Amino acid sequence: MGPCNKRKLRHPLTVRWFSLLAALILTSCSSWNRSPGDAEFTNAFPLDPSPEEPLAHLDPQFPIAPAALHQAPRPAFDFSGLNPVRPTLPASVHHLNSRGVSLTFLTFDDRNYGLAVADKAAGPATEWQSAQEAAKAHQALAAINASFFTPEGKPLGLVIENGSRIGTWNASSSLTSGVLSVGKSPRLLRRKHWRSFSPTKHLVQAGPFLLENGSPVAGLDNKEQRPRSFILWNGFHHWALGYTQSATLAELSAALAANSLSILSITTALNLDGGRSCDLWVSPSINGGPISTRRIGNNPVRNYILLVKH
């Protein structure tokens, strides 16, 4: 038997091996190309129903256990504890005595009320001669004297009113060591933490700080008792405009640190002014109003902080 006959005898076996291999390959490929309704596809890649979107049509050749269709969806994660909703603070007037210091507060919440600055471009002796007149001229619910000014009637530090800058930045005086800055929301900052490029609609420099992180500030004057105006913040949304008829800076700081106004939980307090310039007025539309702390012979001031309704 010649060589050709030997190759012919091996040929049928070779064909069978190639045929078997081709059948396996084609069968595997066809399962990828079939529609989702075909049995071969659903068998190779079962489509389990999700709790939100169960399969509308089940494959009769491969039915899913009924229990799988009635599984309760897994509960969603509760994020509420990560960002608790803080209760709003009503706008209201409070009178109390703390460590022998008589205090008047106007509390408010910056989610319902805003702060603005009203400055007299021509100097203290012009325009509104009291907090009440300033508030009424700007349709505000309350007003308080804002910050110190020079003997010539110019602001001692920087003032921003509706985005317009007045005066110059003061980086040296203790009376300008704090900043009330109003952008998207109001904040009390140390002078060194405010940036000139920050989007700021209203601003006043004032000082000194009376409380920081809920504690009295060291080194405050403890000799001169006089009327004082100030502003308080709890670090979130709760605020108060404040007035005392007579106290030294150190006495006022200690009185505020006693946390007598428990509804506010004061963390930061900034002195605004002292003496005959102090003037707080609150509208009768505020709970506890109207009030006016202005005395006969009060000095006119350069600017005011206004409380306005959002």
In a domain, 37, yes or no: yes
How far apart, in whole angstroms, are the C-alpha atoms of residue 211 and residue 217? 5
Whether residue 116 is found in the same domain as residue 249: yes
In a domain, 134, yes or no: yes
Q: Which of 273, 302, 272, 277 is nearest to 120 (CA)?
A: 302
Q: Is the pLDDT of residue 127 over 90?
A: yes
pTM comes to 0.73
Whether residue 129 is found in the same domain as residue 213: yes
pLDDT tens digit sequence for 138-151: 999 999 999 999 99
Last residue of one domain, picked from the residues 16, 35, 69: 69
Q: Is the pLDDT of residue 95 over 80?
A: yes
Asked whether the beta carbons of 241 and 142 are under 8 A apart, the reply is: yes
Whether residue 170 is found in the same domain as residue 267: yes
Count of domains observed in the chain: 2
How far apart, in whole angstroms, are the C-alpha atoms of residue 164 and residue 30? 74
Whether residue 281 is found in the same domain as residue 142: yes
Q: Is the pLDDT of residue 134 over 60?
A: yes
Whether residue 54 is found in the same domain as residue 111: no
pLDDT tens digit sequence for 192-225: 999 988 889 999 999 999 999 999 999 999 999 9
Whether residue 25 is found in the same domain as residue 163: no
> What is the reported pLDDT for 55?
39
Whether residue 209 is found in the same domain as residue 268: yes
Q: Which residue has the higher pLDDT, 255 or 12?
A: 255
Asked whether the beta carbons of 305 and 268 are under 8 A apart, the reply is: no
- Structural domain including 42 reads 3-69
In a domain, 80, yes or no: no
Whether residue 121 is found in the same domain as residue 222: yes
Q: Which residue has the higher pLDDT, 259 or 66?
A: 259
Whether residue 142 is found in the same domain as residue 270: yes
In a domain, 45, yes or no: yes
pLDDT tens digit sequence for 26-52: 444 444 444 444 444 334 434 444 444
Q: What is the CA radius of gyration of the chain?
A: 38
Q: Is the pLDDT of residue 123 over 60?
A: yes
Chain centroid to Cα 226, Å, comes to 35
Last residue of one domain, picked from the residues 69, 103, 122: 69
Q: Which residue has the higher pLDDT, 114 or 11?
A: 114
Whether residue 262 is found in the same domain as residue 123: yes
> What is the reported pLDDT for 54?
43
Q: Is the pLDDT of residue 179 over 50?
A: yes
In a domain, 23, yes or no: yes
Residue 118 neighbours by CB under 8 Å, 6+ apart? 128, 134, 137, 138, 140, 143, 161, 303, 304, 306
Mean pLDDT throughout 85-102?
Answer: 92
> What is the reported pLDDT for 23?
53
Whether residue 120 is found in the same domain as residue 163: yes
Q: Which residue has the higher pLDDT, 178 or 64?
A: 178
In a domain, 27, yes or no: yes
pLDDT tens digit sequence for 49-81: 444 444 344 444 545 555 544 555 555 555 455
In a domain, 75, yes or no: no
In a domain, 87, yes or no: no
Whether residue 8 is found in the same domain as residue 134: no
When the pLDDT of each residue in the chain is averaged and rounded to a whole number, the result is 82
> Which helix (H) or strand (E) segment is 181 a member of?
strand 178-182
